[in-house]
Structures are given as structure tokens and as C-alpha cells.
Structure 1
Amino acid sequence: MTTYIVRRLIAMPLLLLGVITVAFLLTYFTAADPLTSIIGERQMNNPAVVEAARERWGLDRSLPERYLIYLGNLVTGDMGTSFRTRQPVAQDLMVRLPATLELVIAAMFLGTIFGVVLGVLAARFRDGPIDNIARLFALVGASAPVFWSGLLVLFIFSVQLGWLPGPGRIDTRAVAPPFVTGFYTVDALLAGDWAGFRSVLLHLVLPASVLGWTVTGIVSRMVRASMLDVLSQEYILAARAKGAGQLRVLIHHALRNAMLPTLTILGFSFAYLITGAILTETIFSWPGIGSYAVAAARGLDHPAIVGVTIVGGAAFLISNLLTDIAYALVDPRVKLSQQESS
């Protein structure tokens, strides 16, 4: 296992280099000129200002030169300076990354819990009303556009019913907890701010539910299919013949083995949620990487776009590696050498 992990870790920088190269080329060959967002459209008619700006931001250099300079700076942790915020991109991402991670972790937690419960119930009451409702809920969750479900839950639970707060990470009248981890839930607890902690949790419910609905749909369908397959195995029939209760058979014998294929889905889902949180963060005014990416794309902020791409690519590669390791640890029958050869 150690050899496999080392080889995967060695390969990760090469894969990430490919992601960086593609992102860099795409931003370079874009039709729009980033100088428009840097100096403003009016100043584009001033040749002196344009030339100074190109030299200031390194836009007068050739593509290979800019690429090599960027890679050299990236080794030291320098992702360049944002055209829009005038701050280092790495600093912008470090400030916003905790907000996205907090949202994604909450979405994964809710999505996994509800997905497993729905999957087990659907398998237990196969082809019955509960199964049909669970499958419909999963289908809608896996296929409904995020902007539609986000606006819908905001309108119902925040505007109409007033049960939950609207956009943002914390109430506008509250003071954000002192920065320690960047996770408002953790920082509020560390500061002993129980009112702030409650406000943060309430603000998490709607965006995490919307983002996690996709996970719920995928997990529930996977668990249902795996449970139906496991429940037909001989050892399940033997357990029932020995007098094992229905709950024990479902949880201890069936679910435990049915969850193995779901691990792979959860790993990919985590990376997907990080890169797919753009619409959710935009709808709920969540100050994370997703909203940062939208602003960067609108402002033709090339360094920020490449920086966000690096974070998304790294998240996908790391989650993929951790998923393979977890799968091998949970199921001893899985040989990492076989995974590598495949």
C-alpha cells in the first residue's frame, strides 16, 4: 500500500501540471482583452496607459515566457496577483477556501445521511410507495438544476415561511467570529459565541441542503442497487434462517457490504461539490471559491481563474487518492496493485 501511495503522490504533480497548462492556455487564447477590466474601457484609447499596464502585469511577454514565469512563481506558492482585487491570488483563495469547505462538508454530511436512509428504505420496501417516493426524490435531486432548487427553497423557507435565514454565512446584524480556522462554526465555538454559532448553523441549512441534494440522489440510488444485490446473497438468507432480526440483517449484514461501492461515489462527490459550488454560492451570496470564480470570469481575471482551477484540480486528485485508500482499507479483497494496473 505504501508503494502505491508514493507512486500516486509522485504522479499527482504531473497531472496537476496538465490541468494548469490547459487552464493557462485557455485564458491566454480568450477573445477578450483582460486590460479592459484592469484599466477600464475608457483608458483603452490611451496608448501610454495601455502600454504601461501591459508591462506592469506582464502581458507584453510571449506565451512561453509568461508560462515559465508562472510555473517558477507557483513553486514558491505565488499564484500571481488578481487583476480585480489587486491582492495575491493565493491570499484570496486562503481567505475564501474555508467558506467553501465548510459548505461542502455540511452538504456531504446531509447528502450522505439522507441518501443512505432513503436507499435502505427503498430497498427494504422495494416497489412499494416508499420506494417510489425515494426514487422520485433521488431522481429530482440528481437532475434538478441547482439554480432552480436554490431559488425555490429560498422562496419557500426564507421568504414565504420565514423559517430559515436568507443568503450569507451569518446574520447581517451579527459580528463574524474572530478568524482562527475560517470555519465560522468552529470559530464561533472557540470564541464561545453561541448566538453566532446558532446563526451560522441556520445559514448553512439551505445552501448545504441544496448542494447536498445531488449527493442524496446519487447515494440513495447506489445504496438501493447495492442493497438489493446484497439482500439476495446466500449469507443474508443464512442470517435470516438463524433468526437474525430484520433491522440487524439490514444494518449489520446488508448495509455494511452495500456501502463499499458507495465509497467511490462519495469521493468523487466531494471533489464535484467543491468545483460545482459556483451556482450555490452565487445564489446564497456565499463568499467562497465559487463566487470568487464567477467574479474572476466576469472580470477576465486570468490569474484568479487559473488559481481556482488549480484548487479544483488538486481537490479532485486528492479526493480520488483518499477514496482508493479508504476502499482498500475497508475491503481487504481489494488489491491496490490491481487498481494501479487498471
Structure 2
Amino acid sequence: MLRFVLRRCALVLPSLLGLLVVTFLLIHAVPSDPAVAMAGDAATPEQIAHLRQQYGLDRPMWEQFGLYLGKVASFDFGESAFSHRPVALDIVQRLPATLELTFASLLLSVLIGVPLGVVAALKHNSWPDYALRIFSVLGVAVAAFWFAIMLQFLFSMTLGWLPLRGDLSATMSRPPVVTGFLLLDSLIAGRWDAFGDAVRHLFLPAVTLALGGLATIVRFTRSGVLDTLQHDFVLYERAVGYSRSRLVWIYVLRNSLTATVTQIGLLFGGLIAGGVVVEAIFDWPGIGSYTVQAILTGDRQVMLAVTLLVGAVYAMVNILVDVVHGLLDPRLMGRA
């Protein structure tokens, strides 16, 4: 197992390096001058030239990239041109909010998607199956920004049941920061009022972000269960008298989840990357809104750091997915 994980980790660094190269080239291909954006409209040419020299923007591209790699190797991601603070500090402060939203969305997708996928497989070619197949197509096709706006219009602006934006009401005092996760910090401090308010703020963005993943998990679970039900061991266990529920939820489901686990792993990284739009719409104080702010201000240091973070998350999750596959089916370890 350890050798398997180390071999996977050895492939991460070249992948992240390639990601940084592509991102660096794309950022520099955009016809914009970060020094002008940082200096503001009232800046003089001398001030703009000083900023270019200060941030190394007057050097050749390859030299800028080499300097950046040297800083990244020492975990120095530079200074944000917008907040004028270390990018690493901004990310550390905002990452818990993004992870909280991502975990909530993924939990909704899994807890609802897997049972619905099993139901669709067991009711193959009946009306529940057709309805869930239509839902899985629509769930992937619906644009997240449109769904978010519709939820805001219905539950916040029309019915007034849920907050429109943010992660906590302005009239609610925040609990002391212990973990950085608002829900956990509220529980640790015994602030049930803050916990309930945070859950209400979390609900709409989590549902918005979960829709596409939920539809994907339903589709892959259905396909996996249908395939497993055709295996000989299922017919044998039916013959020896296993109950239907035990057969499906213990034996069939475990042998059907390989593709679903892969999708769950990919969804985790995808939710962090895809949360940019959702966080911006709901004014969620996470990495997504921070990235939108960086794009609008031409903050290259932030864009590079966030890209590297998302790439690292994808890589780590893929390694974890491979490990889970090995636990579900130890034969895969020998083939890897």
C-alpha cells in the first residue's frame, strides 16, 4: 500500500509543474498590465514603472517564472496586489469557508444520489427509473448561476425563508476562531444560535453546488448496480435465501461503487473549482469569490496560487480514490 501511494505521489510534481507552466503562459497572454491595475487610474508613469520593477514585471517571462518557482518551493506565493497581504495568508483564511461549502455539497450529493441510483437500478425501465434518468440529464445540463438565482428568488426574495447571501447574519456575532470552520467553531463555543444561522446561510449555496454532482452520482450508481445484478454471485445469494435488502445494500452496492467512488473523488476537486460562480453569487467568503476578485483586478499572484491549490487538491483526491479502490478491490493494487 505504501509503495503504491508513494508511486502515485511521485507523479504529482510533474503534473503540478505542467499546470503552472500552462497557467503562467495563459495569464501572460492576456493583454493587460498588472502594474497599471495595482497603481490605479491616478498613478503617474513613474509609479507604474516602480511597481513593475518591484514585482519583477519588467523582466523576461522565463526569468519571472523561474523566480516564481523558487518562491513556491519555499511556500512563498507572493503578495496580493489587491489586499497587499501574503497570498498564502489570504488563502488560509478563506479556504475553510470553501471546504465547508464543498463538504456540505458533496455530502448532499452522496447521501441522496447513491440511494436514488440504487432505486433507479432496482426499478429498471419503470417510471421511477425514467424520472431519475431525466433528472440526471437535467441536473448536469442546468447552469449553476441560473439555478442559484432561481433559488435566491424563490426562497429568499419571495418566501423569505432563507438568507440571500453571506455566511452569517450581520447582526450575529461570530464565535471565536478555533478551526476556521464556522459550523465547527460555533459548536465548540456552544453558540447554537450562530450554528443555526450558519446552516441557514449554507443551505442554498450547498444545494446549488450539489445539483450537478447529485445527478452524476445517480447515473453512475444506477449503471454500477445494474451491471452487478447480472453477476453470478447475485443469483447464487438469491438462491441460498439472502434477503433482498441485505443482498442489495451490502453485497451488490459494495461491488457497484468503483465508478461512483471515482466520480465522488473527481467531484470534490470539481466542486472547489466550480464553486467560483456559486460563491460569487451568494457572496460566500471563500476561495471562489477571492478568485473572481483576482481576475477582475488582474492579480496574477492570486490566480497562480489558486490554480496550484486546485491542482494539488485534484492530485491528492485522485490518490485517495486509488487507495479506496484498492480497499474495495485489493486486486487493483497489484495491477497498479
- Could you say which TM-score interval applies, normalised by the shorter chain? over 0.9
2:54 to 47, 53, 56: 56
Secondary structure of the corresponding residue to residue 332 of structure 2? coil
CA RMSD in angstroms comes to: 1.4
Q: Residue 67 of structure 2 corresponds to which residue in structure 1?
A: 69
Aligned: 1:156 with 2:158:
no
Q: Residue 87 of structure 2 corresponds to which residue in structure 1?
A: 89
> Which is further off, 171-180 or 91-100?
171-180
1:73, distance to aligned residue in structure 2 (A):
1.3
1:195, distance to aligned residue in structure 2 (A):
0.5
Q: 2: distance between equivalents of 1:159 and 1:117?
A: 32
> Which is further off, 303-312 or 233-242?
233-242
Secondary structure of the corresponding residue to residue 58 of structure 1? coil
Q: Residue 291 of structure 2 corresponds to which residue in structure 1?
A: 293
1:4, distance to aligned residue in structure 2 (A):
2.2
Aligned: 1:19 with 2:11:
no
Q: Residue 118 of structure 2 corresponds to which residue in structure 1?
A: 120
The answer as to whether partners of 2:254 and 2:328 remain within 8 angstroms in 1 is: no
Letter in 2 for 1:219: I
Query: Identity rate of aligned residues, in percent?
Result: 37
Q: Residue 182 of structure 2 corresponds to which residue in structure 1?
A: 184
The within-5 A match list for 1:317-332 is: 317-332=315-330
Q: Deviations over 1:21-67 (max 9, x none)?
A: 22122222321111221111332xx3222222212222122222221
1:173, distance to aligned residue in structure 2 (A):
1.3
Q: 2: distance between equivalents of 1:334 and 1:8?
A: 14
Q: Deviations over 1:59-116 (max 9, x none)?
A: 1222222212111111221101111111111111111111101100010000011110
The answer as to whether partners of 1:81 and 1:303 remain within 8 angstroms in 2 is: yes
Secondary structure of the corresponding residue to residue 255 of structure 2? helix
Q: 2: distance between equivalents of 1:193 and 1:273?
A: 28
Secondary structure of the corresponding residue to residue 81 of structure 1? coil
Q: 2: distance between equivalents of 1:61 and 1:33?
A: 13
Secondary structure of the corresponding residue to residue 192 of structure 1? coil
Q: 2: distance between equivalents of 1:10 and 1:253?
A: 35
Q: Residue 142 of structure 1 corresponds to which residue in structure 2?
A: 140
Q: Residue 105 of structure 1 corresponds to which residue in structure 2?
A: 103
1:214 to 212, 215, 223: 212
Q: 1: distance between equivalents of 2:244 and 2:11?
A: 46
The answer as to whether partners of 2:117 and 2:218 remain within 8 angstroms in 1 is: yes
The answer as to whether partners of 1:37 and 1:84 remain within 8 angstroms in 2 is: no
The answer as to whether partners of 1:188 and 1:196 remain within 8 angstroms in 2 is: yes
Aligned: 1:38 with 2:41:
no
Instruction: Give unpaired runs (5+ residues) of structure 1.
Output: none
Secondary structure of the corresponding residue to residue 253 of structure 2? helix
Letter in 1 for 2:149: L
Letter in 1 for 2:240: K
Q: Residue 3 of structure 2 corresponds to which residue in structure 1?
A: 3
- Please list every run of at least 4 consecutive aligned residues from structure 1 whose deviation after the TM superposition is greater than 4 angstroms: none
1:242, distance to aligned residue in structure 2 (A):
2.4
Q: 2: distance between equivalents of 1:174 and 1:34?
A: 38
Q: 2: distance between equivalents of 1:176 and 1:25?
A: 41
> Which is further off, 238-247 or 322-331?
238-247
1:20, distance to aligned residue in structure 2 (A):
1.4
Q: Give me the TM-score of the superposition, normalised by structure 1.
A: 0.94
Q: Residue 267 of structure 2 corresponds to which residue in structure 1?
A: 269
1:257, distance to aligned residue in structure 2 (A):
1.2
The answer as to whether partners of 1:169 and 1:286 remain within 8 angstroms in 2 is: yes
1:291, distance to aligned residue in structure 2 (A):
0.8
Q: Deviations over 1:279-327 (max 9, x none)?
A: 1101111111111111101111010110110101101111111111111
1:132 to 130, 133, 147: 130
The answer as to whether partners of 1:107 and 1:208 remain within 8 angstroms in 2 is: yes
Q: Give me the TM-score of the superposition, normalised by structure 2.
A: 0.96
1:14, distance to aligned residue in structure 2 (A):
2.1
Letter in 1 for 2:250: H
1:122, distance to aligned residue in structure 2 (A):
0.7
1:140, distance to aligned residue in structure 2 (A):
1.4
> Which is further off, 214-223 or 233-242?
233-242
1:204, distance to aligned residue in structure 2 (A):
1.3
Q: 2: distance between equivalents of 1:236 and 1:63?
A: 61
Q: 2: distance between equivalents of 1:288 and 1:238?
A: 51
